[in-house]
Structure 1
């Protein structure tokens, strides 16, 4: 079966997911998470990519990034992947692959869906029943976006900045968003868009991407709900 094509566009945010091989763990202690963030931070600067949200789960990662050119995200993922696998293999005296093939990517219609996607990412540990609320999970951008702790590699998206004129008002309004559940149909749509590397947005957004990149994305028909173990995929 041919690989599903991934699309990136300058200035358009993308939701990225990369999983451990065979759903196995890719983080084993706090130092591992810290090294991943360090490698990611260096790559973001080198390739001029902005990171708006992330969560590092035991066996996969979610990232929400906006590149300055169409190659930036791929270069970031390649750079982080190489450094992190080298680090893990060295520390734990292992060999072979760590990640499950290529990462998944879904372009995000920022005006309508960016904050939904950002909430989806930061609620992963809650859906996986690892914590009761997002602020309890350390390795998540909610620490920055919802609590106000400084995470140097985070660049707030314009849609986040629209939440209020001051830092405190934005924090308050952002936390308020988490009192509302993301509808199940939107959760399903986000997951299917990732599986198929398909844009998360309306027809107008899809048409704009096709015109910008001079590609034909095609039609996406949502199938029956996918039953997913949140601890593995989320």
Structure 2
């Protein structure tokens, strides 16, 4: 089956997922996580990607980011992935592929799903049973978004609408985490990233297709009959 064509639209947010080859670990010790984030910080700035949220799990990564140009995300992920794989291979005297093929990407409808996607990403370690609360996990953006920790992240406009100042926005953001994500939203985000489909209502998808002359595809809503997708 031919690969599904990628269409990255400048100034639109995307949920990015990339996994280790054969689900093997990509991060073995704290130094690895920090190296990977340092690469993202450097290369996102170089290629024009605004990173809003992230979570680094043992064998995969999640990012919520907006490209400023159509090639920004592809270039950033390509170079970050390559340079990080070289670092791991040298450090641990290994060879072979580190990442599982191509990354996955879902266009996110800002006003409806963006803050849901923030929460989905930063609650990964909680859903995996690694920690009980998101602030206990060191390798996500939660502390920057919820507790004003100094960061290189660029807040999305939907995040900025949460309050009039930084403290107000952080407080409102923490309040969002008082309630669990709806199961239908979890299913939607998981399935969308699995198939590289957009996360948005029909009107949003139609408007994007008409404006840019592309076919996005769509993902069904509602609860899955069985668990097919990852956290």
Asked if TM exceeds 0.5, the reply is yes
The corresponding residue for 2:34 is 34
Residue 166 of structure 1: CA displacement?
A: 1.2
Compute the TM-score of the two structures, normalised by the length of structure 1: 0.94
Residue 143 of structure 1: CA displacement?
A: 1.4
Counterpart Cα distance in 1 of 2:102 and 2:207: 26
More relative contact order, 1 or 2 (CA 8 Å, 6+ apart): 1
Counterpart Cα distance in 1 of 2:58 and 2:217: 34
The corresponding residue for 2:148 is 148
1:22 aligns with 2:26: no
The corresponding residue for 1:204 is 203
Counterpart Cα distance in 2 of 1:144 and 1:102: 28
Contact preservation (8 Å) 1:104, 1:194: yes
Compute the TM-score of the two structures, normalised by the length of structure 2: 0.96
Residue 91 of structure 1: CA displacement?
A: 0.3
- Structure 1 residues 76-118: Cα deviation after superposition (integer angstroms, max 9, x where no partner): 1001001100000000000000011100000000111100000
The corresponding residue for 1:91 is 91
- Structure 1 residues 38-83: Cα deviation after superposition (integer angstroms, max 9, x where no partner): 1111111111110000000000000000001111100110010011
Cα 1:221–1:27 change in 2 (3 A) is: same
Contact preservation (8 Å) 2:197, 2:217: no
Residue 193 of structure 1: CA displacement?
A: 0.6
Find the residue that maps to 1:146 and give its secondary structure: helix
Residue 228 of structure 1: CA displacement?
A: 5.0
Counterpart Cα distance in 2 of 1:225 and 1:2: 27
**Structure 1 alignment gaps of length 5 or more:** none
Cα 1:14–1:226 change in 2 (3 A) is: farther
The corresponding residue for 2:166 is 167
C-alpha RMSD of the superposition? 1.4
